[in-house]
Structure formats: C-alpha cells, structure tokens
C-alpha cells in the first residue's frame, strides 16, 4: 500500500486559496489519488479523485504532475466552514487498497 | 449520506463484555467497511465485506469479528471488549461498479467507551 505524506496542519484566512500537497513517491500504476474531508464528530466526506493531470469539481481542484509522485488539493476562497481535517489517499477510494494517514488539519481564520 | 445508519451511536461497556455494532444501508451496495478512529490518527480499517457472507480482515482486525448475512447489514463484534478498543467506529460503503476504487460514504459513527 502506498504511503502518503501531508503537512500536519495549515492555517489560512477566509477568502484565500488553500493548496495542500501530498507526497506519494511509491504510487503504483493502477493507483488513484483521493481526498476526503472530515469535520469533528463526523465521518469523512469524499472531495475529489483523480488519476493524472487536473480534475475539478464544484468543491475543489486536484493537480497531479506527470510523475504522479505528489498531488495538490486546491480549495478556492475558503470560508470558516472549511476548517477540517483533509486526508490524501493513494490506491483506491478507501478500503483494503488504501491507508488513511493522519491528515492535514486546516484552520481557517476570519 | 447514502442511507447509512449506525447503532448504537454511543455505548459505554465494561472490560470483558461482548459488544456488537450494527451498520445498516438502504441502497444494496456490495462493499461495506468498518474503521476505527483514535485521537491523532486517521481511520484504520478493521474488516470489510464484498458481499453477503464474504468478509476479510483489514489492518487492525485482532479482537474483532464481523458478519454479513444480508446485503444491508454489516455487524462488528467485539467478543470480549478491552480498554484499547475504546474508539470511534465508522462504517462505510463503496458506491459504484469499481468497488474499492470508488468513493466511500461514511456513517455517522459510534462512540464506544470500554471501562
């Protein structure tokens, strides 16, 4: 299973763009990159998934360079409600093909 | 939330007692999972199921057993609870035909305290 490395925590201010980078040097050919968001006392919630290049949805963008050894989750114009823990997974969307690491705690300030 | 419920939502029990947690889904998805989450840690996979009566171990399966006799229910049993099993337990399902490669939807969690 591919291991991921993320910053432990990040701070931002409302209205700013936040980029969280995840390193996954031993990503396998069949592995996808998936990001989840978790608020206190709730289960994680799927944000975005990608395999290569760029993926964008209504919530975030995911940038994956050609070598796929890292990825960057981009949250445009964050608000206080984006304060949460963000997990980067490599492999499948969860389950036995992936490992949830400790995640990145994002604090958004007013 | 993909129709996932967990019961009970909170439970306090004593060391050595058996405990069963229930995960129920309403949409007949094939893959179901049990995770535990402890402070400062991400989620760790306990057991998973890929169909009725088809289950397998995850990363931290010691001390836990599971059963899936119906598509909609996935039960997690602690045969003899220990204080190290105090945790928040999340059930999840995979949605879509790609199984493990699809996104997961998580239940609300069960907070278990073993005294």
Interface test with B, best of A39, A41, A96 (most B CBs within 10 A): A96
Picking from A2-6, A81-85, B20-24, which range would have the lowest pLDDT averaged per residue? A2-6
Q: Pick the closest to residue A47 from A89, A16, A8 (CA basis).
A: A89
Task: Give every CB contact of residue A73 below 8 A, 6+ residues apart in sequence.
Answer: A19, A20, A21, A22, A35, A47, A48, A60, A61, A62, A86, A88
Residues of A in contact with B99 (CB under 8 A): 92, 95
Answer yes or no: is A47 within a domain.
yes
* Confidence at residue A5, expressed as pLDDT on a 0 to 100 scale: 92
Domain contains A4: no
The answer to whether residue A32 sits within a structural domain is yes
Q: Does position B1 have pLDDT exceeding 60, yes or no?
A: no
Is the Cβ–Cβ distance between A100 and A41 less than 8 Å? no
Average pLDDT over residues B32-38: 94
Question: What is the pLDDT of chain B when averaged over all its residues?
Answer: 92
Sign of the C-alpha dihedral, residues A109, A5, A41, B85?
negative
3-state secondary structure of B100: helix
A44 → closest Cβ in B43, B48, B102: B43
Mean pLDDT in residue range A48-65: 95
Question: What pLDDT shows up at residue A98?
Answer: 74
Cα-atom radius of gyration of chain A, to the nearest Å? 13
A2 assigned to some structural domain: no
Domains for chain B: give ranges and CATH numbers. Answer: 4-114 (2.60.40.10)
- A3 assigned to some structural domain: no
- The reply to whether A104 falls in a domain is yes
End-to-end C-alpha distance for chain A, whole angstroms: 38
pLDDT at site A3: 84
- Total domains in chain A come to 1
Q: How confident is the model at residue B97 (pLDDT cuts 50, 70, 90)?
A: low
Give B55-96 pLDDT, tens digit per residue. Answer: 999 889 999 999 999 999 999 999 999 999 999 999 999 877
Contacts of residue B98, defined as CB under 8 A and 6 or more positions apart, other chains included, come to none
- Expressed as residue numbers, the domain containing A102 is 9-109
Among A1-10, A40-49, B55-64, the range scoring the smallest mean pLDDT is A1-10
Which positions in chain B touch A46 (Cβ < 8 Å)? 103-105
User: Between β-strands A32-38 and A45-50, what pairing exists: parallel, antiparallel or unpaired?
Assistant: antiparallel
Window from A55-69, B15-29, B49-63, B97-111 with minimum mean pLDDT: B97-111
Q: What is the CATH number of the domain that holds A54?
A: 2.60.40.10
Q: Which residues of B touch A96 (CB under 8 A)?
A: 45, 48, 56, 58, 100
């Amino acid at each position: 299973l591919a291991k991921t490395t993320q910053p432990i925590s990040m701070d931002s201010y409302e209205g700013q763009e936040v980029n969280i980078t995840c390193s996954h040097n031993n990503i396998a050919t069949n592995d996808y990159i998936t990001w989840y968001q978790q608020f206190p006392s709730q289960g994680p919630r799927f944000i975005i998934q990608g395999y290569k290049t760029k993926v964008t949805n209504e919530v975030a963008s995911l940038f994956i360079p050609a070598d796929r050894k890292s990825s960057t989750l981009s949250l445009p114009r964050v608000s206080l409600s984006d304060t949460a823990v963000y997990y980067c997974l490599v492999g499948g969307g969860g389950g036995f093909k992936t490992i949830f690491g400790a995640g990145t705690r994002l604090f958004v300030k007013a | 939330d993909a129709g996932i419920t967990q019961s009970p939502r909170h439970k306090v029990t004593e060391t050595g007692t058996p405990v069963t947690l229930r995960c129920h889904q309403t949409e007949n998805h094939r893959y179901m999972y049990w995770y535990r989450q402890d402070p400062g840690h991400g989620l760790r996979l306990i057991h998973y199921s890929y169909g009725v009566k088809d289950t397998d171990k995850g990363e931290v399966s010691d001390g836990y057993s599971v059963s899936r006799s119906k598509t909609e229910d996935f039960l997690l049993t602690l045969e003899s609870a220990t204080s190290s099993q105090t945790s928040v337990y999340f059930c999840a399902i995979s949605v879509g035909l790609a199984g493990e490669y699809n996104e997961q939807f998580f239940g609300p969690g069960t907070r278990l305290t073993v005294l």
